Structure 1
Amino acid sequence: MLGTMKSRGVPVVPAVAAAAAIILFVFTAGQPAATAAIVEHTFIVSQVNMTRSCKETLVTVVNGQLPGPAIEVTEGDSLSVHVVNKSPYNITIHWHGVKQRLSCWADGVPMITQCPLRPNHNFTYRFDVAGQEGTLWWHAHVGCFRATLHGALIIRPRHGASSYPFPKPHVEIPMIIGEWWDMDLVQLERNMVDGDFRDNPTAMTINGQLGDPFNCSGIVKDGFVLDVEAGMTYLLRLINAALFTEFYLKIAGHKFTVVASDANYVNPYTTDTIAIAPGETMDVLVVANAPPGKYYMVAVALQTPKPDQQLPFFMTSGMVQYRSGHSHNNGTTGHHNVAPVVPELPDQHDTITTYYFHGNLTSLRHPRRPQVPVHADEYFFITLSDGSICRHGRQSCKRSGSNESMLVAAMNNVSFQLPATVAAPLLEAHYYHRNNTASIGGVDLYMLPNSPPRVFNFTDLSLVPSGPKEAQLEATKKRMVGRRFRHGTAVEVVFQNTALMQTGSHPMHLHGHDVFVLAQDHGIYDPAKDVAKYNLVDPPVKNTVVVPRLGWVALRFVADNPGLWYVHCHFDFHMIMGMDAVFIVDDGPTVASILPPPPDDLPNCNHGDNHASNELLYPHEGKGSVLQS
């Protein structure tokens, strides 16, 4: 039966008071005290002027906010988010890390699960958050708009904070680390489609604020401030929303206790440095146990050393500020004239700290932790690399930086490309033609190879600079690449990083599933000896896995959620340049394992003139834009 209608504490923009969350409490039969809620939000996507780095920039945001509104739900709730697109661009919203059980239609990937939401149109995303708890997030999945269209999605335990498997914190704070771009994000996307990723962000942010390092006018800029009381414990829900950047985070004089990652609990461990890659979330406890005062919170952008292309040094800061019992008339804490304590900063080229940080993650024994597949049914060895294709459809061309070829990113030397025109998203075509295993909507599916076409010294640093050695290996196919799995298949994937044209790490994200991270190491994966390193007892459960620089990661997952699921690098330049694929999971044997039909209000791809819009959605060689209708 229906209970009383209530509203939950959600930021409301005065001009859009309808954006308030509405909760309908639905009492389940036989459990009069237990509730599952339908939580509603309205997201109004529009453009506003914001001033950062002494420059006014027109940015696309939700409800006038940066970051966008945080969504808070309880495990088992249903979520309805009404997206109203008042921007001039095509938009989709992806619910990063939400498993979308039997709701693949709401996954928010343009032309994979839905047609984009065109300007002056609206669409409601509906899905459940059963079986998950912790910190996830939402973000745009079109072009580069993730930089400004993002926010936290927090799933609380059904039995409240007292059921956390760690000391109950006094305060919980979402904290999003990101980038600020002065340049037009539409142009940024066009450049990357054309193989050009020389553009750099202007600054780094914490909860949308630049902080002290970006002092362009002689006036110290406001940054994120965390007011704390001595002896209290704070749960920081960390999210990396950046397009390009993995970060190290430190707070002077304090340590972190990591308790969860990607909405999965981990065995707590203490560290003074957090490593967090784009797409990842980390839940960390901080105890205010330092002498009263001010302490800098610093995020340093990590980058690979030479011979990779070098970027400017980027960092941003916030402040941890202790409250005291002696307040001044202006409400300050009594420490406002005390110089803040500065942490010892990690080196921007230190890639070993993130390797060990992620290697320390192990899964906490918990009722929600799934069983690790002891054996796999299918195996993949996938190299991650840059490559090139010949321009204008030519079969041969000069490479190694020549204007005759274009830079792409690839998995096993295949770079993802949607067909030039399609009349419907791939998921819809798949749903109505599920018996056709070789194509989707009449377009042949290029099968993701189980291994790369050539075996070479994958970690040879001499492959980074342009030259004849690298040119022999960079030829890449451009295809609609994917793989189909029978429902319930246990899949093992080894992602092998390479030094082909660059040596950076890759945060690989799989939609619709969590994965077990069995092992990682530097060098080249050797199945004869490296299987012995697998952790089959308590491997971390993740949705975004960092493949280390010049190394590999082995993972397993069970393909048990029917639909089409995007797998891609969460660095935007690599995703846009083709380090992507689609994993197709077939229906299962029961009603509860069959993908339901699409919602009646799913956006269509037509502009009213019976022409598919995909030519504009996924441009080739820099023509057109995914963004503009």
Structure 2
Amino acid sequence: MKYSWVRVLVLVACLLPALVECRVRQYTFNVVLKNTNRLCASKPIVTVNGRFPGPTLYVREDDTVLVRVVNHVKYNVSIHWHGIRQLRTGWSDGPAYITQCPIQTGQSYLYNFTVTGQRGTLLWHAHVLWLRATVHGAIVILPKRGVPYPFPKPHKEVVVILGEWWKSDVEAVINQALSSGLAPNVSDAHTINGHPGPVSNCPSQGGFSLQVEAGKTYLLRIINAALNEELFFKIAGHQLSVVEVDAVYTKPFKIDTLVIAPGQTTNALITADQSSGKYLMAASPFMDSPIAVDNLTATATLHYSGTLASSPTSLTSPPPPNATAVANKFVNSLRSLNSKKYPAKVPLTVDHSLFITVGLGINPCATCVAGNGSRAVASMNNVTFVMPTTAILQAHYFNISGVYTTDFPANPPVAFNYTGSPANLQTTNGTKVYRVPYNSTVQVVLQDTGIIATENHPVHLHGFNFFAVGKGLGNYNPKTDPQNFNLIDPVERNTIGVPSGGWTAIRFLADNPGVWFMHCHLEVHTTWGLKMAFLVDNGKGPNQSIIPPPSDLPKC
């Protein structure tokens, strides 16, 4: 496939009064076609500045970020700043046909947003088609100058991006799946900072190497940028001290294995406290359902200073893909820091309570020969989301009718044994949003279903952080399960895993007017329709209202 290039100019500037020194941060991103040699299969891919993963964007809390994207590829382009709250600046959120029409070939768009009240690790990625497979990178938000971390200062900070790799073009992979009605092919390898590490069919391939000095502590900013798989992460012989997830500080705890879903981030301290040598770093899939996954483990090396390159590597065995207990040990340990400086402001009352089933389905498809006249789909409350041809935020702001409806159901249309095997596998189609007033509190219980198969679903909410107040296995019981909710120090996130055959409950304050996407971050499920959106009305006055759209807002 032939690619051209996208040039992205990034200018970061903080807004401070005159005569106060303000450091301007300026970046130029060039998304270009680049030949790569991964798994001994050379092919051209879309990259930013010729790199896979793309460059890290460094900002500080309260900085304003300006990103000009100029599209010179044959595909439409949009960029999402995953986890950035985008207060009143939904025009810059990035999901195509939700908050903006995509940037068409030969056109440009200036993203403009301020990083307010956030610090930590997030990511940026393409939010149209499957381009985020290679168009992604890290966002590092440093604290305000003079504000220390609430944990010991590390000797060095290192970005570690986990991903997936296909030998074939990812757009061809999903297009073939959509035309057949079947699931797409799984990836050919996992990656750590763009490298799978040594693999059997390509022994000359090296991998990422983390250089450390004995006795010193390092902060790993770990991101799962994979399209379709949750990943375990561990380093042989070393404990990881978790201090942050999704750019929110946590109560520190030590553990040897992390689990990170696509779109999630985890900051962890590691101390080089073992004997000098080389230690294996591993990223492997977590999938406790009978779903096909790429079973290859990506590897890298933690390399102590002074150790010969020819020295043997201390190995570690990654957990099996269905190691639910290992995943739960990590997830159940997460708590908000909830300190005086960083309190956990959990909503204690609920204005809008939603119970949303998530899962798969099968709909008729006359052209899907491989699927015997059927197509695999996904849904929320039995609604398979249909992408509009005009962005929903634009339709809302300019009062364009016929683009969406506000009747997304707050409950499933029919009650059933959600984690069992229902008789009806078919879903309905629609572009439906759920409308809430400004500053109202929202509780969403996300319930996995056994339609086709139970499965983990990492669900991402745009525009907000939320508190994960509860989770469990089986069907959610609205009478008894809320009695066990954690309303004191639940973990605060922007992406949450709905457990296979279980449920999770989240709460957030709808203090950000606009249209905000909520979807499964397994790209195949989003493509199949496992998505919806919240429409949050304006409040009182301009400071509680969506800012006017920019003059260069893309047109559909």
The answer on 1:432 being equivalent to 2:380 is no
Kindly state the Cα deviation for residue 26 of structure 1 after the two structures are TM-superposed: 5.0
| 2:257 alignment counterpart | 273
1:415 alignment counterpart: 384
The alpha-carbon distance between structure 1 residues 217 and 205, as it changes in their structure 2 partners (threshold 3 A), is closer
Asked if 1:360 is matched to 2:327, the reply is no
- TM-superposition CA deviations, 1:195-230 (whole Å, max 9, x none): 422401111100101102x242442x1101000001
Structure-to-structure mapping, 1:283-294, within 5 angstroms: 283-294=267-278
Quote the residue 1:178 is aligned against.
163
1:156 to 137, 142, 145: 142
Bigger radius of gyration, 1 or 2?
1
Q: Shift in Å at residue 457 of structure 1?
A: 2.1
Cα deviation, residue 532, structure 1: 1.1
* Distance apart, 1:454 and its partner CA: 2.3
Q: Report if the CA contact (8 A) 2:14-2:63 is conserved.
A: no
In structure 1, what is the equivalent of residue 297 of structure 2?
Answer: 315
- Which residue is 2:96 aligned to? 110
**In the comparison of the two structures, how many residue pairs are matched?**
550
Contact 2:434-2:535 at 8 Å conserved across structures: yes
In 2, the alpha carbon distance for the partners of 1:298 and 1:268 equals 22
Worse overlay, 354-363 or 166-175:
354-363
SS at match of 1:354: helix
Residue 454 of structure 1 aligns to a residue whose secondary structure is coil
Does the 8 Å CA contact 1:45/1:84 hold for their aligned counterparts? no
1:227 is the counterpart of 2:178? no
CA distance, structure 1, for counterparts of residue 455 and residue 442 of structure 2? 25
Match of 2:153 in 1: 168
* Contact kept? 2:245, 2:264, Cα under 8 Å: yes
Q: Which moved more, 1:441-450 or 1:80-89?
A: 441-450
Moved more, 261-270 or 381-390: 381-390
Q: Is residue 53–residue 215 contact of structure 1 (8 Å, CA) maintained in 2?
A: no
Matches within 5 A, 1:112-151: 112-151=98-137
Confirm whether residue 28 of structure 1 aligns to residue 12 of structure 2.
no
Aligned position for 1:587: 538
1:458 Cα offset (Å): 1.9
Q: What corresponds to 1:96 in structure 2?
A: 82
How far residue 456 of structure 1 moved from its aligned partner, in angstroms, is: 2.2
Q: Deviation digits for residues 11-35 of structure 1, max 9, x if unmatched?
A: xxxx99x978656565436xx66x5
Is 1:247 the equivalent of 2:198? Answer: no
Aligned position for 1:190? 175
Q: CA offsets, 1:139-197, max 9 Å, x none?
A: 0001111110000011100035x610011111001110000111112112323444422
Measured against aligned partners, the alpha-carbon deviations of 1:507-555 in whole angstroms (never above 9, x if no partner) come to 0000000001001111111111111111110111100011111111011
CA contact (8 A) 2:10 2:68 kept: no
C-alpha displacement of 1:368: 4.3
| Residue 352 of structure 1: how far off its partner (Å) | 2.6
Taking a change above 3 Å as real, the CA distance of residues 594 and 311 of structure 1, as seen in their structure-2 partners, is closer
- Specify the alignment match of 1:3 in structure 2: none
Consecutive unaligned residues in structure 2, runs of 5 or more: none
SS in 2 for 1:190: helix
Q: CA offsets per residue over residues 428-463 of structure 1, 9 Å max, x none?
A: 111122xxxxxx532341522122122222223xx3
**Matched residue type, 1:458:** Y
| Inter-partner Cα distance in structure 2 for 1:499 and 1:300 | 25
Shift of 1:310: 3.5
Give the alignment's Cα RMSD to 1 decimal: 2.2
Comparing 178-187 and 190-199, the one that deviates more: 190-199
Quickly say closer, same or farther: Cα 1:336–1:79, change in 2 above 3 A: same
Change (3 A) 1:377 1:234: same
Cα separation, partners in 2 of 1:192 and 1:481, compared to 1, 3 Å: farther
Measure how far apart 1:378 and its partner are: 0.9
The structural deviation recorded for 1:84 is 2.3
Distance 1:402 1:312 in 2: 22
Contact 1:492 1:555 in 2 (8 A): yes
Q: Quote the offset at 1:102 in angstroms.
A: 1.0
| Whole-Å separation in 1 of the counterparts to 2:32 and 2:12 | 25
TM-score normalised by the chain length of structure 1: 0.84
Alignment match, 2:349: 375
The match for 1:477 is: 428
Q: Which residue of the other structure, out of 46, 60, 65, is the alignment partner of 2:32?
A: 46
> CA separation in 1, counterparts of 2:312 and 2:100?
52
Aligned position for 1:347: 320
CA–CA separation in structure 1 for the residues paired with 2:8 and 2:419: 50
Distance in structure 2 (CA, Å) of the matches to 1:26 and 1:402 = 55
Matches of 1:26 and 1:475 in 2, distance apart? 52
Letter in 2 for 1:425: A
Any conservation in 2 of the 1:458–1:499 contact (CA below 8 Å)?
A: yes
Tell me, what secondary structure is at the counterpart of 1:546? strand
Q: 2:311 is matched by which residue type in structure 1?
A: V
Q: Specify whether residues 36 and 429 from structure 1 end up closer, same or farther in structure 2 by C-alpha distance, changes over 3 A only.
A: farther
Q: Which residue of 1 aligns with 2:474?
A: 523
| Partner Cα distance (2:460, 2:256) in 1 | 26
Structure 1 residue 570 corresponds to structure 2 residue 543: no
Alignment identity in percent?
39
Shift of 1:500: 1.3
The residue type paired with residue 279 of structure 1 is G
- Once residues 348 and 89 of structure 2 are traced to their aligned partners in structure 1, the CA distance between those partners, rounded to angstroms, is 28
Corresponding residue SS for 1:155: strand
TM-score by length of 2: 0.94
Partner Cα distance (1:201, 1:402) in 2: 21
Task: Please tell me whether the aligned partners of residues 36 and 76 of structure 1 are also in contact (alpha carbons under 8 angstroms).
Answer: no
Seen in structure 2, the aligned counterparts of structure 1 residues 293 and 121 have a Cα distance that, compared at 3 Å, is: same
Instruction: Give the AA of the match of 2:211.
Output: D
- Look up the match of 1:610: none
